[in-house]
Amino acid sequence: MNNGEQIMKKLAPSILSADFSRLGEQASQISQAGADYVHVDVMDGHFVPNISFGAAVMKSLNKWNTSPYDVHLMIEHPDDYLADFVTEKTEYIVVHQEACVHLHRTLQNIKSKGVKCGVAINPATPVSTLDCILEDVDLVLVMSVNPGFGGQKFIPAAIEKIKQLDQQRKKNGYGYVIEIDGGISLDNIREVAAAGCDIFVAGSAVFGAEDIEKRVKEFKERLE
């Protein structure tokens, strides 16, 4: 699907930065304003130095009118928890390369559950570590901050990784989409888009805005 074909660029606000006491309402708000995905950041306090929320919280959103979920598992032993995150609204489940000893097997496990599979790489992890699985993956997530917290500064070296991934898929006819996560703002999103990125996660830049819906629309306009 990526053989030179233009892919629609998509916005995935991260509910990590939402007001958890009004999570359903806010997830629904961003979705109605045009967010393409609800980015679900799951942290276990081991793989990353922070704990966020688990599958029960995500599932509580199913009754709200939201966009599909893009689930980012920042956890060790993700295979043990995959089934919990599969719901009728789950489109992608993304695991970390650094957390998976048997990455190929984990990706097959995700697919076998009827959802799309993705792999994320930390800022210190080169794209080349994914060479053997790029053919099998639906999404590659490039971390542009060290995972664990919202509101951190964008690490510019991520742009080179996006370019590499875009070149590789064009060269080999691979079908994955490329996602960026961390420090995305109205000021840098166009530069990342120009590098070949397709899906843009934004947490604090969306939920920190005074008018969340207006901010989603501003982001979407920059992706047109």
How far, in Å, CA of 28 to CA of 9, rounded? Answer: 20
DSSP code string of 176-192 = -EEEEESS--TTTHHHH
Residue numbers 50-69 binding ligand DX5 by CB under 6 A: none
How far, in Å, CA of 95 to CA of 120, rounded? Answer: 6
Total number of residues that touch Zn ion (CB under 5 A): 3
The partner in contact with residue 150, picked from Zn ion, ligand DX5, none with C-beta cut-offs of 5 to 8 angstroms by kind, is: ligand DX5
Residue numbers 125-164 binding ligand DX5 by CB under 6 A: 145, 147-148, 150-152
The partner in contact with residue 68, picked from ligand DX5, Zn ion, none with C-beta cut-offs of 5 to 8 angstroms by kind, is: none
Cβ 173 to Zn ion shortest distance, Å: 28
Between residues 176 and 207, which has the closer beta carbon with respect to ligand DX5? Answer: 207
Pick one of 41, 44, 70, 198: the residue that binds Zn ion (CB under 5 A): 41
Does the annotation mark 136 as catalytic?
no
Residue numbers 18-57 binding ligand DX5 by CB under 6 A: 39, 41
How far, in Å, CA of 171 to CA of 173, rounded? Answer: 6
Cβ 28 to Zn ion shortest distance, Å: 20
Task: Please pick, among 36, 41, 44, 138, the residue that the annotation labels catalytic.
Answer: 41
Does the annotation mark 41 as catalytic?
yes
Residue pair 159/189 in contact by the 8 Å Cβ criterion: no
Residue with the CB atom nearest ligand DX5 in the bound state? 203
Cβ 160 to ligand DX5 shortest distance, Å: 19
Interacting residues of 137 by C-beta distance below 8 A, sequence separation 6+: 107, 117, 118, 119, 130, 176
- Find the DSSP H helices in 33-76: 55-59
210 — phi, psi (to 5°)?
A: -65, -45
- Find the DSSP H helices in 33-102: 55-59
Six token digits for residue 128: 């080349």
Q: Is 142 left (phi over 0), alpha (psi -120 to 50) or beta?
A: beta
Segment lying near Zn ion (by CB under 5 A), choices 19-27, 36-44, 124-132, 189-197: 36-44
Residues in contact with ligand DX5 by the rule CB under 6 A = 14, 16-17, 39, 41, 72, 145, 147-148, 150-152, 181-184, 201-205
Would you name the residues annotated as active-site residues? Answer: 41, 181
Residues in contact with Zn ion by the rule CB under 5 A = 41, 72, 181
